[in-house]
């Protein structure tokens, strides 16, 4: 079945550690996105990529990094520079001017 897979579903990070969230899609979509969602809040754009080997900062990119070496994959690294990383992270992809397809999300908690 085609879709977007995020892993892990739950992730715990110690302060000062970098962690990488995985996002893989087999929908052959060019565009991929990372969003952060805090409790009771909407989605905020972290990074997006329209094509392989290219990506752009969103509204809250500080403390995060991404790569897009393959069309199918768009991993997000939460670095130690991100001071408040506890949140729900959502990856999405779109084929173009249509709706977004979401992964199931990763819930990151700093311990």
Which parts of this chain interact with other proteins (CB under 8 A)?
A: 31, 33, 35, 41-43, 45, 48, 50, 56, 58, 88, 90, 92, 94, 97-100, 102-105, 107
Question: What is the Cβ-side half-sphere exposure of residue 43, based on CA atoms within 13 angstroms?
Answer: 14
Residue in the structure block whose two tokens are 């173009």: 96
Question: Among residues 48 and 74, whose Cβ is nearest to other proteins?
Answer: 48
Beta strands in the chain (DSSP E): 4-7, 10-13, 19-25, 31-37, 43-51, 54-57, 64-66, 76-78, 87-94, 101-102, 106-110
Strand partners, 35: 45, 90
Closest to other proteins by CB, 62 or 81: 62
Nearer to other proteins, 16 or 42 (CB): 42
Q: To the nearest whole angstrom, how small is the minimum distance from the Cβ of residue 19 to other proteins? A: 20
Question: To the nearest whole angstrom, how small is the minimum distance from the Cβ of residue 24 to other proteins?
Answer: 15
Whose Cβ is closer to other proteins: residue 18's or residue 53's? 53
Closest approach of other proteins to the CB of residue 86, in Å: 14
């Amino acid at each position: 079945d085609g879709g977007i897979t995020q892993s892990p579903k739950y992730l715990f990070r110690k302060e000062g550690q970098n962690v990488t969230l995985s996002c893989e899609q087999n929908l052959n979509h060019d565009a991929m996105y990372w969003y952060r969602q805090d409790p009771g809040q909407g989605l905020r754009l972290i990074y997006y990529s329209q094509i392989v080997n290219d990506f752009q900062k969103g509204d809250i990119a500080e403390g995060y990094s991404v790569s897009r070496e393959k069309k199918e994959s768009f991993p997000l690294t939460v670095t130690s520079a991100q001071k408040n990383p506890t949140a729900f992270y959502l990856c999405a992809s779109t084929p173009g001017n249509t709706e977004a397809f979401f992964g199931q999300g990763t819930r990151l908690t700093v311990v």
